[in-house]
Structure 1
Amino acid sequence: MEAFKNISIRNKLIVIQLATAFIAVLICSVIFVIITINTFKEAEIKNKYSLAEIVGVNAAPTLLFDDNSAANQILEELKSNPSILNAIILDKTGKEFAKYSKEGEEDFSFSNLDKKDITAKRLIGNEFIVRYKIFHEKEFLGSVILKSKMADLNNIIYNYIKVAAFVLFTGLIVALLISVFLQRLLSNRLLSLVKKTKEITETGDYSSMILFEGKDEIAVLSRAINKMLGQIEKTQDNLKEANIHLEELNLHKEKTLSVLSHDLRSPLNSIIGTSELLKANFDNMNRADLQQMLILIHKSSKRLSDMLNNLVEWARIKFASEIFSPEKIQICMVVKDVFDMLSENALGKGISLQNKIIENVFVWADGKMLHSILQNLISNAIKFTPEGGKITATSETRNNESVIRIIDTGHGMSKEAQEKLFTPQVDSLSASRQEKEGAGIGLLIVKGFVEKNSGKIWVESEQGKGTSMIFTLPLTH
């Protein structure tokens, strides 16, 4: 079996077809010989029974008139048939009436057969006996029993075997020619399929197609391979795009971390420098200078605290799968908490905070993430809304989700700025933070948290007419 596995599929097909043809022809030949020999034997027995019947009809008068010599003369006529070995005529009591033995043949005892009701019986080898019962006007007179041999049975068997061998040999030759022709039709297509798939594997060109016409298994296999190649090509394209995207993300991450590192050092350096100056000149400074330095230290510490909080929130996005705990939340209460927390900042600029979200609106979201989303959006709205402005929180239900809006009366923004709002340019991130004390990275956090809660976020704004930050959250689990 191991050697069979290693030969080519072409030779395998030839071997299989030859073996199948050999077995089929051999079985047919054996069956043909057996049936023919049995038919010959049955014909021979019938022939000898007919001969016994003729002898019995002729011997009936001899039994009626008890004429032994006439009966023996009838049996002597059997010399003309060399296949008859022994013959006997028994009277109705089973006693021997006349008998015949071929020259050179020993006498055969038939007396015990008279008690058995037989028509024909095979003996050892090619010999057999037949019995014919003699009647006259329904009166049983006796029996004729012949012992004979199958004439030329061995020669007949030998001739049939030669014929069967010739048929078998001829069948194998024909099967070989047919199998060689047929295997080319099959193996050539298979070898072509193997060659094509090998070329595709070596070149990596998965856009190549394997074309085979028809509805047989090879054609079906080629179409399945083509489908698989298409999926591989699509997967490769997706992997290339994913790799490009990952490279961009890594580059963005490195630049962002670089900028954040620089921005974290700025307030730290300010705190350290101011505190060292305060420490060195404390005794010589007046109250106004001391108050100014403390204000600077407090402001730098606040900036540093805000940056660290943003970094913590940003890290939560990366590990949100482990701490994500959505629940049913009353949205108006979260907005109220954020408004209360930021009310001092709003009052400092004379900005009015209005919560118009009704109490029976509930969303399915992570409470801490929702609080961070609203805190960032409302905090940004306060930063970019001029003094005396207004910030309003509203909601509406649409398609099994709640649409929440944070609307301010600020200066608005251009379409170009809106397109880059949730993917801020890293090079301008530090400058935007210095200008607005942390604006930029907060929106990345907001976008990540909204999407984690199966929502979407976008902006609607027009220069000179304010900005609406809009996001959605599901109403149910």
Structure 2
Amino acid sequence: MSKINYPKKILLGEAFGFAVIILMLWVDEIYDLPHRLLGAEPTAVNTVESLFETAIILVLGLVVLTISATLANRLQRSDTEKSRLFGVISHDLRNPFANLIGNADLLRKNFNTLSDEERRTLSSGIFESADKAHDLLKNLLDWSEIQLHRSIPTATVCDLRELVDECIDHVGLTATRKQIVITNDIPGGTLVNVDETAIRSVLRNLLSNAVKFSKAGGVVEVVGKGRGGKVRVSVADRGIGMSRNELRSLFRMETRLSKPGTSGEVGSGLGLLLSHELIRRCGGKLKVRSDSGKGSTFSFALPKVKGQKPAAKVSTRAEENREVNLQD
């Protein structure tokens, strides 16, 4: 027997309640129970009045059930998202910490017997695992801020090419290990008016995703094309791509897409969801084109600015620390 979930039980209970009210109305109209119980003469049945009252109750019932169904769907979606987030925390966050602890333990126990090259390899592994854990934690914090409606986009003028270069540096170690070249074809001096923290997070996630699903020796291209008062930013790879079914579920928490990369990399699938929400909150839309086996292209438009200087640069780490302090 199929299991009835909690929101459906609520709706069935409300529908049953309205049915009982209508039944009691007609029983009272036909048998006139109050008069009979008091020993008075029953009144004549007024069918028109009863039909009118029934119609009013039905309309009110439909309105209440519609509102309840909407709230029940939101409750169900919220519960699903919460379960998925717990899955990310319990499973996906465990992997980078396990690698970090494992490499650190090897380095600690065998430090004197390891060669310089082996120490460098273990140190790089420790850094990469810590960086992945940091990125995942930041994505989780950003996602929770969005869900709680605490994050408010704050636009500033920034140099888009410099911002992209910074994000390319962030994924440089992983790209180098897979011998993947990342090109930045955005013209120098391209100024945009955006929430720099949000767009930095989007670019990092898109670049990490492109590197993850690119084959060794591949190329990832970041392109910016101006049109009118906007510049469209595209992050394209020539990796494994996605099927139509995967594209349909790409930006939905309940069907969060998470599959291993070309070198077996694991991920939460949360980065693309977060990027989609951040672009939406900034007034844009994250678009994707993909063919299975041919690669994917993610793109979004940003408002272009002319004749202004970019805002004073704040280091990424300092900015993130400021965000954490504000949250505390």
- Output the TM-score relative to the length of structure 2: 0.63
Match of 1:397 among 210, 227, 241: 227
Of 387-396 and 337-346, more deviation after overlay is shown by 337-346
Whether the 8 Å CA contact 1:353–1:390 is kept in 2: the answer is: yes
Change (3 A) 1:290 1:397: closer
What residue in structure 2 maps to residue 407 of structure 1?
236
SS at match of 1:205: helix
Note if 1:351 corresponds to 2:181. yes
Q: C-alpha displacement at 1:366, in angstroms?
A: 1.5
Match of 2:89 in 1: 260
Counterpart Cα distance in 1 of 2:159 and 2:121: 43
User: What corresponds to 1:43 in structure 2?
Assistant: none
* Equivalent residue, structure 2, for 1:460: 289
Q: Distance in 2 between matches of 1:444 and 1:297?
A: 27
Match of 2:195 in 1: 366
Q: Distance in 2 between matches of 1:272 and 1:336?
A: 31
Q: Deviations over 1:228-279 (max 9, x none)?
A: x5xx845742541342243133123213313322222333344445545665
TM-score, normalised with respect to structure 1: 0.45
User: What CA distance in whole angstroms lies between the structure 1 residues aligned with 2:122 and 2:173?
Assistant: 22
Structure 2 vs 1, CA of residues 295 and 425 (structure 1 numbering), >3 Å: closer, same or farther? farther
For residues 89 and 130 of structure 2, the distance between their equivalents in structure 1, rounded to whole angstroms, comes to: 15
Equivalent AA in structure 1 for residue 54 of structure 2: E
Would you say 1:444 and 2:273 are equivalent positions?
Answer: yes
Q: Does 1:314 find its partner at 2:169?
A: no
**Structure 1 residues 320 and 463, CA, compared in 2 at 3 Å: closer, same or farther?**
same
| Alpha carbons of structure 1 residues 299 and 367: separation in structure 2 relative to 1, 3 Å | closer
After superposition, give the CA deviation of every residue in 1:335-378 in whole Å (9 maximum; x if it has no partner): 34323444454445241412235745634x32211111112112
Could you tell me how far apart the structure 1 residues matched to 2:261 and 2:63 are?
40
Q: CA deviation at 1:317?
A: 1.9
Which runs of 5 or more residues in structure 2 are unaligned?
Answer: 1-45, 306-328
Question: In structure 2, what residue type is equivalent to 1:354?
Answer: N
Cα pair distance change 1:253/1:199, threshold 3 Å = same
Given candidates 77, 84, 87, the residue that maps to 1:248 is 77
- Answer yes or no: is 1:205 the counterpart of 2:58: yes
Please list, as runs of the form range in 1=range in 2, the aligned pairs for 1:84-103 lying within 5 A after superposition. Answer: none
SS in 2 for 1:256: helix
Contact conserved, 1:456 with 1:473, CA < 8 A, in 2? no
- Which letter does structure 1 place at the counterpart of 2:221? I
Map 1:415-454 onto structure 2 (within 5 A): 415-423=244-252, 429=258, 435-438=264-267, 440-454=269-283
Cα pair 1:324 1:366 within 8 Å, conserved: yes
Q: What value does the CA root-mean-square deviation take over the aligned residues?
A: 3.8
Higher-Rg structure is 1
* Contact persistence 2:107–2:122 (CA under 8 A): yes
Cα pair 1:383 1:436 within 8 Å, conserved = yes
Tell me which amino acid in the other structure corresponds to 2:183: L
Are residues 257 and 295 of structure 1, via their aligned partners in 2, closer, same or farther at CA, if it must alter by over 3 Å?
same
CA distance in 2, matches of 1:433, 1:252: 27
Distance 1:451 1:346 in 2: 28
Q: Which residue of 2 aligns with 1:69?
A: none
Q: Identity over aligned residues, as a percent?
A: 23
Shift of 1:449: 0.3
- 2 CA distance for matches of 1:414 and 1:310? 25
Q: In structure 2, what is the Cα distance between the partners aligned to 1:329 and 1:367? A: 7
